[in-house]
Amino acid sequence: MESPEQIRDRLLVQFPGAEISVVTNPGIAAQHSLLLGAAHARAIAEFLRDDPTLRLDQCSNVTGIDWPEKEIVETTNISTPDPANPAGPPTVVEQKTKRLQPGFLEVVYHLYSITHRHGPVIFRLRTGNRTDQATVPSLTPVWCSCEFQEREVFDLFGVTFVGHPDLRRILMWDEFKDHPMRRDYVEPDDYEWEPTPHGAVLEKTKAHYPTPPTPAAVAPVKGAAP
């Protein structure tokens, strides 16, 4: 089977101007992937499915990744002449600068070929951010097996799949707030589905119980019958 680099090169010939790059995996599995720009994702997916050499006709897995914003520290070395010894080696000063890398969400697809019995070919789609640009094109029209799995990513990560035929929650109920698989998700203290809380859940729900009255508040009224 072709390597990710070979597939990328063929795609760039087929789709001039498309955003396609290889994301290397330093782990033992070394399953490198392709990062695709959203503008050409649907057309590239159809090519991967229909190309006679690849014939990636099965999408086995669709999953999400949350990448929150983070601070990046970049180090540069600046060489300056030594005033005390101009002819000598320059003085090297290490300068560090900080920048904030915006967060984004990622959707990862694993493709196989049942026809040729090879794979996986892995590719990624990224959203513009984690708030008002959390969208990618749906690939359910290309591989029908994506339907429930894209719904799961929508439900748990908050990615909106444009063009999905039935985009709605699949694990959580419709009124549920937020997305449980995001890294900054905070689970509620009061579990409405836990009618008899116990253990750690009981300790959390105590904060929502009414405060019991103090002894002074229930002291008998003077002159009242015992």
Is residue 3 within a helix (H) or strand (E), and if so which, with residue range?
none
* Exposure on the CB side of residue 204, measured as CA atoms within 13 A: 14
CA separation for the pair 4, 8 (Å, rounded): 6
Would you say residue 150 has pLDDT above 90?
yes
**Average pLDDT of every residue of the chain:** 89
Of 198 and 73, more confident:
73
| pLDDT tier, 90 (very low <50, low <70, confident <90, very high otherwise) | confident
Q: Domain limits of the chain?
A: 1-67+104-170, 69-102, 180-210
CA separation for the pair 171, 149 (Å, rounded): 11
Measured CA distances, 8 to 12, 13, 49, 66 (Å): 6, 9, 15, 25
For 1-67+104-170, which CATH superfamily applies? Answer: NADH:ubiquinone oxidoreductase Nqo5 subunit (3.30.460.80)
Would you say residue 224 has pLDDT above 70?
no
- Give me the pLDDT at residue 158, please: 97
- Span 8-24, average pLDDT: 96
Would you say residue 156 has pLDDT above 70?
yes
